[in-house]
């Protein structure tokens, strides 16, 4: 017999830097939900439970790093069994996005505050299957079909 969870589990995942700072503003969700944080391993300390390899679109080793991150994401997924995935971007969140789509879990993308006038690659990639796509600038709405303006996290 399966054990039913008392509270839904939320996965907050983002890259380091500004994306991570924005994601930290959502930690009060852990008062209502079970949750865990995922980010990139960098020289800076972060209070995440799980760490991924840092990469970006300009990285020559992006593909092998994304393969490693995908395997790590799958292991985390199996262990934690999240019900919701929330991200502020970028590519470190992509394996979690794919897993959410494959397992029909809820996926929320919050476009970065750092882009007021143009869309991001991560946003364009993950918008299609997101259950909720939030932008932090009203000017971002025009760049996405599913975007809703939610105000800024800061």
- Find the CATH number of the domain harbouring 69: 3.40.50.2000
**CA–CA gap between residue 99 and residue 96 (Å, rounded):** 5
Assess if residue 111 is contained within a domain: yes
* pLDDT at residue 136 in the model: 96
**Count of structural domains, the chain:** 1
**CA–CA gap between residue 141 and residue 146 (Å, rounded):** 8
Q: Which of the 8 DSSP states describes residue 121?
A: H
* pLDDT at residue 66 in the model: 95
Q: Tell me the mean pLDDT per 10 residues along the chain, length 154.
A: 76 93 91 94 90 90 95 98 94 96 97 90 94 96 96 86
Assess if residue 20 is contained within a domain: yes
Assess if residue 129 is contained within a domain: yes
**CA–CA gap between residue 96 and residue 108 (Å, rounded):** 11
Global pTM value = 0.90
Assess if residue 58 is contained within a domain: yes
Assess if residue 4 is contained within a domain: no
* pLDDT at residue 77 in the model: 98
Assess if residue 83 is contained within a domain: yes
Integer angstrom CA distances of residue 43 from 3, 16, 56, 88, 120: 39, 10, 16, 20, 25
Assess if residue 25 is contained within a domain: yes
Phi, psi of 38 (to 5 degrees): -135, 135
Domain that holds residue 16: 9-149
* pLDDT at residue 2 in the model: 55
Question: Residue 96: which H helix or E strand, with range?
Answer: helix 94-103
Assess if residue 154 is contained within a domain: no
Classify strands 106-110 and 132-135 as parallel, antiparallel or unpaired. Answer: parallel
Q: Is the peptide bond before 90 cis (omega within 30 degrees of 0)?
A: yes
**CA–CA gap between residue 116 and residue 135 (Å, rounded):** 9
Give the dihedral sign, CA 13/98/81/130.
positive
* pLDDT at residue 4 in the model: 65
């Amino acid at each position: 017999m399966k054990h039913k969870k008392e509270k839904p589990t939320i996965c907050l995942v983002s890259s380091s830097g500004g994306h991570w700072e924005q994601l930290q503003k959502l930690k009060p969700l852990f008062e209502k939900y079970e949750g865990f944080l995922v980010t990139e391993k960098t020289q800076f300390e972060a209070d995440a439970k799980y760490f991924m390899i840092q990469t970006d679109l300009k990285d020559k080793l992006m593909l092998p790093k994304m393969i490693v991150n995908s395997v790590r994401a799958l292991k985390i997924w199996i262990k934690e069994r999240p019900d919701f995935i929330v991200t502020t971007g970028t590519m470190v969140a992509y394996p979690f996005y794919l897993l959410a789509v494959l397992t029909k879990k809820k996926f929320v993308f919050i476009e970065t505050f750092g882009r007021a006038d143009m869309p991001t690659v991560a946003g364009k990639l993950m918008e299609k299957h997101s259950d909720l796509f939030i932008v932090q600038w009203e000017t971002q709405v025009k760049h996405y079909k599913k975007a809703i303006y939610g105000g800024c996290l800061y």
